[in-house]
């Protein structure tokens, strides 16, 4: 048999036999892509929750946030000293330091107990978010996660023009199954927690959340710069 014919009939080499086919390579890459996307979603979601929760704690547990609106809008003036005591009692109640005093109405006490339960749940979720950051952390995800979060947080500003409708028909309808949240001039919460305070809270959340993610971006860039210098 001619030598050329014998060469054509040779079996493929071992290296060629071991080389993955295109479909096999695609199948092997798919789990990696899915895992990477899941990691990005976990890291981004955890960072988003913490970016909003950190500034929110200042608006929940610090008396200065309530007193700022009392002084700014003058709404607490009719209560006099009772407004100061109510603000202190409210923040201590949210911190589980003391119960609500008797000058709160029964309706207000029931509603504020529900509100504190939501705040406690958010605190637990923030701890889980810290774990999510630890599990999902990768240096190459920092920039993408922070940029995604900045866009999401800025989108909260779209609520401002329709805040009245959102407050009455969306926010409370989702979180509560009753109308205990509705207040009038006979309630202390009408004075110390006016609706405008929550509208301003959206602006404060946006500012604080964007600032945190900008810090994350700067930290990621600094880390890349140091790594490049080390190489």
Q: What ranges do the domains of the chain cover?
A: 50-230
Is residue 179 within 8 A of residue 98, CB to CB? The reply is: no
pLDDT value at position 39? 83
Residue-level pLDDT, tens digit, the chain, 231 residues: 455 544 455 555 555 445 555 554 544 444 578 887 888 888 899 999 999 999 999 999 999 999 999 988 888 999 999 999 999 999 999 999 999 999 999 999 999 999 999 999 999 999 999 888 887 777 778 888 999 999 999 999 999 999 999 999 999 999 999 999 999 999 999 999 999 999 999 999 999 999 999 998 888 777 777 766 776
pLDDT value at position 22? 54
């Amino acid at each position: 048999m001619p030598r050329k014919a014998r060469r054509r009939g040779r079996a493929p080499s071992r290296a060629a036999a071991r080389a993955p086919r295109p479909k096999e390579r695609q199948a092997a890459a798919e789990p990696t892509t899915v895992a990477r996307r899941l990691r990005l979603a976990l890291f981004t979601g955890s960072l988003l929750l913490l970016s909003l929760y950190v500034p929110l704690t200042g608006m929940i547990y610090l008396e200065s946030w309530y007193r700022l609106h009392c002084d700014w809008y003058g709404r607490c003036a009719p209560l006099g000293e009772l407004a100061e005591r109510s603000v202190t009692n409210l923040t201590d109640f949210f911190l589980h330091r003391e119960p609500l005093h008797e000058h709160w109405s029964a309706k207000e006490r029931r509603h504020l107990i529900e509100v504190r339960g939501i705040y406690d749940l958010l605190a637990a979720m923030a701890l889980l978010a810290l774990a999510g950051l630890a599990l999902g952390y990768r240096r190459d995800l920092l920039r993408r996660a922070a940029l995604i979060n900045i866009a999401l947080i800025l989108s909260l500003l779209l609520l401002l023009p329709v805040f009245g409708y959102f407050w009455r028909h969306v926010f409370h309808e989702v979180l509560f199954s009753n109308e205990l949240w509705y207040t009038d001039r006979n309630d202390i919460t009408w004075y110390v927690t006016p609706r405008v305070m929550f509208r301003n809270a959206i602006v404060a959340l946006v500012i604080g959340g964007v600032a945190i993610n900008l810090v994350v971006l700067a930290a990621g860039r600094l880390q890349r710069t140091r790594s490049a210098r080390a190489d």
